Amino acid sequence: MALERRLFDDGRQVYVLDGDIVRTGLCQDLGFSLEDRTENIRRIGEVARIMANSGLCVIVAFISPFRVDRDKVRGAMPDGCFIEVYVNASLEVCQERDTKGLYARAIRGEIADFTGISSPYEPPVSPEVELNTDRLSETEAVDLILSFLSQ
């Protein structure tokens, strides 16, 4: 949200597609199975493509655990319009930041197919930007993304 604010303040038309919000509407019929996760990313990738084609800067704030799904979305976007930002945080840091208590529930076995616990996460091989958020402040992370965009 801090990135959105900075882009907006700089005069950009920007919108954040947030995973939690999309799952309550567009993807409310999907669960967390492998097939459903793939369809979830396909749908949001298509929405992001449509929005980007209209001239919006679209920030897609999703956990996309599988490289193949991210690569399919990248392939559907015009060249240079897909910028992969790897928010790299350890499992411990993710658990500390978990305001909804989902990691604790997953560890107790209450949530199946939870990324990083009972379902794998495939880190990007060569993201355009990598943010080690256990070491960077929010401002530093946003500055790194904006620095990349300015190039």
Count CB-CB contacts under 10 A for residue 94: 19
Asked if residues 133 and 93 have their Cβ atoms less than 8 Å apart, the reply is yes
pLDDT tens digits for range 2-54: 999 999 999 999 999 998 888 889 999 998 888 998 999 999 999 999 999 99
Q: Give alpha helix (H) positions in 26-99.
A: 34-53, 67-76, 91-96
pLDDT tens digits for range 52-74: 999 999 999 988 999 999 999 99
Q: List the catalytic residue out of 64, 118, 119, 150.
A: 64
Asked if residues 4 and 47 have their Cβ atoms less than 8 Å apart, the reply is no
Clarify whether 64 is annotated catalytic: yes
Domain 2-143: give its CATH architecture.
3-Layer(aba) Sandwich (3.40)
> 60: helix, coil or strand?
strand
